[in-house]
């Protein structure tokens, strides 16, 4: 088994956390006698500073030449809150998604007992929460026509979807539901939006191919409430790009630590794997970032490579560390390990 991994450390704590995932992947390669090679490339503010472009051509080439992309984080404060900035780090990420046809963003919302005290929800509400969001990633308002209308000093971002764009991610979500507890909830705003009505039509049609899966629908405003009131009701949630952006941030915080959550973006060709958290610039270089979200993203990459045993080995190693209270400062400020030490520890557990 040979795999080439393109590592895009990106900004802030990104390179530190991807370094830990590389350690763990190297340990997996040793344990299972795989050959993994790692190529590094620039993205985001780091790429703008070096080349003027948040996604340089060289990065795209290196990604094409790889079997999977491991991304740290993108974003830097100097570009935030500047509406006049022409280039932004986030454009690198959006172009990467479009270039590689990464139309399905998969964000598992798993909870861990050690984190219950950190959840903003009461323990009885968070217990047993385990769902996964399938967020459409290359359509909707993010990629629709956008612009300014000088005649009225206005602006617009158009939301458009076609049947094919809905179908392909819906099929992935139904397949996931079939592997899990066979419940799929489509989140939309079909009482107002035409695109949502298209989503419902297509998803209801596809549901016929998955008779074991129970399909439900929920308006997005209600879904935002239900994630707080009764998150345990969800299993697979399917939604369009911007609703998914907002709901996955909401869902991630109820687990008690956004630092632990991984994601996969997949589609036509190679996949990209990244933690849900951002670049956390205040922590950069301090060896305090939580590397588990990225390490668990590497596990999702292993799943995508069809190496489920290796993926499970990584997950078990992280669980062991959590159980033993070996965590980063965001989880326990009185007793914690550094980013690098946690990477070493998980690599060691993988090899044990």
Binding region for ligand IPM (CB under 6 A)? 90, 93-94, 245
Minimum distance from residue 180 beta carbon to ligand IPM (Å): 22
| Cβ closest to Mg ion, residue 67 vs residue 245 | 245
Tokens representing residue 105 in the block: 């963003």
Which of ligand IPM, Mg ion, none is residue 53 near (CB under 5 to 8 Å by kind)?
none
Is 245 tagged catalytic?
yes
Integer angstrom CA distances of residue 131 from 238, 270, 322? 11, 24, 20
Task: Show Cβ contacts of residue 175 under 8 Å, excluding neighbours closer than 6 positions.
Answer: none
| Cβ closest to Mg ion, residue 74 vs residue 184 | 74
Minimum distance from residue 248 beta carbon to Mg ion (Å): 6
Of the listed 80, 82, 157, 249, which one is catalytic? 249
90 binds Mg ion (CB under 5 A): no
Minimum distance from residue 94 beta carbon to ligand IPM (Å): 6
Is 189 tagged catalytic?
yes
Which of Mg ion, ligand IPM, none is residue 341 near (CB under 5 to 8 Å by kind)?
none
CB 43 within 8 A of CB 317: no
Of the listed 19, 130, 245, 344, which one is catalytic? 245
DSSP conformation letters of 80-111: TT-TT-SS-HHHHHHHHHHHTT--EEEEEEE-
Minimal CB distance residue for Mg ion: 245
Minimum distance from residue 14 beta carbon to ligand IPM (Å): 12
Task: Show Cβ contacts of residue 153 under 8 Å, excluding neighbours closer than 6 positions.
Answer: none
Chain centroid to CA 182: 22
CB 158 within 8 A of CB 145: yes
Which of ligand IPM, Mg ion, none is residue 224 near (CB under 5 to 8 Å by kind)?
none
DSSP conformation letters of 232-280: GG-SEEEE-HHHHHHHHHHHHHHTS-GGG-EEEEE-SS-EEEEESS---
Tokens representing residue 83 in the block: 């509406």
Which of Mg ion, ligand IPM, none is residue 93 near (CB under 5 to 8 Å by kind)?
ligand IPM
- Taking every pair of Cα atoms in the chain, the longest distance, rounded to a whole number of angstroms, is 67
| Cβ closest to ligand IPM, residue 126 vs residue 272 | 272
Which of ligand IPM, Mg ion, none is residue 90 near (CB under 5 to 8 Å by kind)?
ligand IPM
Of the listed 79, 134, 142, 349, which one is catalytic? 142
250 binds Mg ion (CB under 5 A): no
245 binds Mg ion (CB under 5 A): yes
Tokens representing residue 74 in the block: 């993108």
Report how far residue 131's alpha carbon sits from residue 254's, in angstroms, rounded to the nearest whole number.
12
Minimal CB distance residue for ligand IPM: 90
49 binds Mg ion (CB under 5 A): no
Residues interacting with Mg ion, by CB under 5 A?
Answer: 245
Active site residues: 142, 189, 221, 245, 249
């Amino acid at each position: 088994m040979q795999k080439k991994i393109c590592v895009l450390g990106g900004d802030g704590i990104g390179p530190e956390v991807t370094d830990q995932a590389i350690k763990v992947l190297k340990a997996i390669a040793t344990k299972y006698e795989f050959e993994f090679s790692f190529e590094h490339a620039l993205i985001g503010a780091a790429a703008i500073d070096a080349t003027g472009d948040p996604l340089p051509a060289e990065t795209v080439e290196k990604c094409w030449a790889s079997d999977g992309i491991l991304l740290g984080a993108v974003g830097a404060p100097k570009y935030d809150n500047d509406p006049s900035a022409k280039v932004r780090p986030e454009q690198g990420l959006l172009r990467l998604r479009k270039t590689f046809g990464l139309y399905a963003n998969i964000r598992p919302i798993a909870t861990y007992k050690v984190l219950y005290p950190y959840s903003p929800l009461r323990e009885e509400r968070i217990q047993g929460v385990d769902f996964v969001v399938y967020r459409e990633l290359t359509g909707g308002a993010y990629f629709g026509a956008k612009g300014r209308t000088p005649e009225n000093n206005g602006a617009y971002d158009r939301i458009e979807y076609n049947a094919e764009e809905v179908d392909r991610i819906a099929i992935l979500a139904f397949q996931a539901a079939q592997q899990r507890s066979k419940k799929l909830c489509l989140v939309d705003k079909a009482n107002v939006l035409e695109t949502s009505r298209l989503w419902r039509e297509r998803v209801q049609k596809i549901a016929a191919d998955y008779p074991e899966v129970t399909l439900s629908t929920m308006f997005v405003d209600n879904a935002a409430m239900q994630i707080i009131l009764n998150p345990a009701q969800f299993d697979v949630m399917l939604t369009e790009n911007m609703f998914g952006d907002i709901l996955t941030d909401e869902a991630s915080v109820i687990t008690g630590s956004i630092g632990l959550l991984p994601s996969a973006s997949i589609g036509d060709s190679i996949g990209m794997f990244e933690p849900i958290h951002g670049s956390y610039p205040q922590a950069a270089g301090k060896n305090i970032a939580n590397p588990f979200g990225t390490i668990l993203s590497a596990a999702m990459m292993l799943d995508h490579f069809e190496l489920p045993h290796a993926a499970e080995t990584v997950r078990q190693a992280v669980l062991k560390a959590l159980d033993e209270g070996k965590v980063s400062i965001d989880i326990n400020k009185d007793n914690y390990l550094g980013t690098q030490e946690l990477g070493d520890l998980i690599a060691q557990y993988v090899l044990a």
